[in-house]
Amino acid sequence: MMRTLITFVLALFALLAHAAPSDEVFAKLAEDDSDSRIEAITALAADGSEESLKLLDALANDALAITAEGQLVILGDTEARDAQTGALLDPYPESADAIYLNNRVRGALQGAMAASRVKSPDRAVRLAAANQLREDANEAMLPMLESALNTEQDKAVRAALILATAKINIAADDSGRRRKAAENLGESADASVKFMLGDLLKQNEDGSFAEPDEAVRAAAKASIEQIDRRLAMADVANTIFSGISLGSILMLAALGLAITYGVMGVINMAHGELLMVGAYATFVVQSLFRSYLPEYADLYVLAAVPAAFFIAAIVGMIMERTVIRWLYGRTLETLLATWGLSLILIQGARVIFGPQNQEVANPSWMSGGVEVFANVVLPWNRIVIIAFAGFVLLLVWLMMQKTRLGMFVRAVTQNRAMAGCVGVPTARIDTLAFGIGAGIAGLGGCALSQVANVGPAMGQGYIVDSFMVVVLGGVGQLAGAVTAAMGLGLMTKFLEGWSGAVVAKILVLVFIIVFIQKRPQGLFAVKGRFVED
């Protein structure tokens, strides 16, 4: 009996809590006065009942109208209903005019509708509503916001709700509420919050402060310092991630060059164009998937990786067999010949694909990003590229250290003449090493296509950086190439934030020149045939 009574009381309480809007609310909606309508809209949002939400939706969609007799009606395509009772109207009120909403009323309506959605079961709806309330919330919505805040578990939604309630309380008459709001605002990483808190510290012309309470001003000052520290940490984190991302691309571009330069001593000025070949191979694979396998279009990258490697490797081996093989030991001629090959490849790309850039879209699983903490969002395409670069590095290390081919490559790198004497086919190793180096460059182009435009001249921007990585790391040294690539990537990004891209590039070049003057063998030196010659 007692359980039944409790259940009845709870049901009655719920019914009363979600009762239909009062007659006063309907009367204020019918008045031709913005303040009255805003007051009614706020009351509907605070009520939160199904009937109130229907009224807000009708008002937002210009479906809430008023007849010549002052009756509020909800207009449909073929029928109309009384807004207060829900009764079907017959005949259709042709003379009813939709309630006009000026910008002020419409802004209040948007905030009210957002407030009514902060308890939606859909996380995306709650987050969008909470972010909307950061701009449009008012004092009347405070109880609803605080109630939502008490039950909200999602970190991002809570942060938006805290900011919305703090913005309301910061303008309250009670100094205790203002102080608490100033403290809560310190948890934000939004730079705009600093300006709101800074307004509390401003002085009037007579020397008095805009915020009269000293405790509130102290809380505001402490919160500004917290926000500054948080923003500085976010900038450092973003810079480090950008530097690692750039370093991973430089590493992919330079790994192949480190192998070919170490084995043959060839200054390959066409190495950047091998990146371009890999990028265009990715574009072609994407086009084939869109045309013939549209249902699997998101998987084109998985097919583009081996395609980019083998196509670039074939192009590289053809270059070595037809031109470079006849120029070993003639550094200047090799440099000029490979520069000519780079021009041929660029013009070939322009003839086949056109001079304009081609679009290579990220698959859906590489789109967007992950927010690790406030103001630090790591794009998925960059994360995948970093992981991919690490995977390629692992494969190259395994090949160099655990295979017969890798042993031959290391032997030729250290002493070509002695390797030839003990039966290593140096000419074949030259071709295979050049093909592998070109294939790795193709993989770099595949990765680069996910973050940059694909065009005929895209590789020219990376050839100088690739050589800088190889020379700084040490000729033929994979560990040196990795260390130099990551170091240059991080240095470049930190310097760009301090001095701009152009000056940063100059400073990096100056650093490398000074470093090579002091340590010409690079970061990691190995005794090899170039030292012995």
For residue 1, being part of any structural domain is answered with no
Residue 348 inside a domain? The answer is yes
Burial of 162 per CB tally in 10 Å (0-12, 13-18, 19+): buried
| Pair 179, 99 in one domain | no
Q: What is the pLDDT of residue 172?
A: 81
229 assigned to some structural domain:
no
The whole-number pLDDT of residue 476 equals 60
Q: Do 187 and 56 reside in the same domain of the chain?
A: no
Q: Residue 16: inside a domain, yes or no?
A: no
Q: Quote the pLDDT of residue 8.
A: 35
Report yes or no on 195 lying in a domain: yes
pLDDT in tens, 461-473: 788 888 888 888 8
Q: For residue 328, is it within any domain?
A: yes
Rounded to an integer, what distance in angstroms lies between the CA atom of residue 516 and that of residue 93?
87
Last residue of a domain, one of 104, 129, 162: 104
- DSSP lists the bridge partners of residue 379 as 369
State how far the Cα of 426 lies from the Cα of 445, in Å rounded to an integer: 28
438: Cβ contacts below 8 Å, ≥ 6 apart: 256, 260, 271, 274, 312, 313, 315, 316, 317, 319
Number of domains in the chain: 3
Domain carrying residue 32 = 21-104
Q: Of the candidates 36, 69, 104, which is a domain's last residue?
A: 104
Q: Are residues 177 and 305 in the same domain?
A: no
On whether both 170 and 254 belong to a single domain, the answer is: no
203 and 271, same structural domain? Answer: no
Predicted pLDDT at 318: 93
* 173 and 272 within one domain: no
Count of H-run helices and E-run strands, the chain: 22, 6
336 and 446 in a common domain: yes
185 in the same domain as 301: no
- Quick one: 294 and 162 in the same domain? no
Predicted pLDDT of residue 49 = 72
Q: Are residues 203 and 254 in the same domain?
A: no
pLDDT in tens, 470-500: 888 876 667 788 888 898 889 988 888 888 8
Q: Omega of the bond prior to 91 within 30 degrees of 0, cis?
A: yes
φ, ψ of residue 372 in degrees (nearest 5): -80, -40
- Residue 321 within any structural domain of the chain: yes
Residues 181 and 95 in one domain: no
Block means of pLDDT (10 residues each) for the chain, length 533 residues? 39 42 75 78 72 77 77 79 78 77 77 72 81 72 77 81 81 83 78 78 79 85 86 87 89 83 78 92 94 90 94 93 84 86 93 90 86 78 91 90 86 81 85 90 91 87 82 75 88 85 84 84 60 43
Q: Looking at the structure, do residues 191 and 248 belong to the same domain, yes or no?
A: no
Domain end among 212, 246, 264: 212
CATH number of the domain bearing residue 275: 1.10.3470
Q: What pLDDT is recorded for position 533?
A: 42
User: Does residue 218 lie in a domain region?
Assistant: no
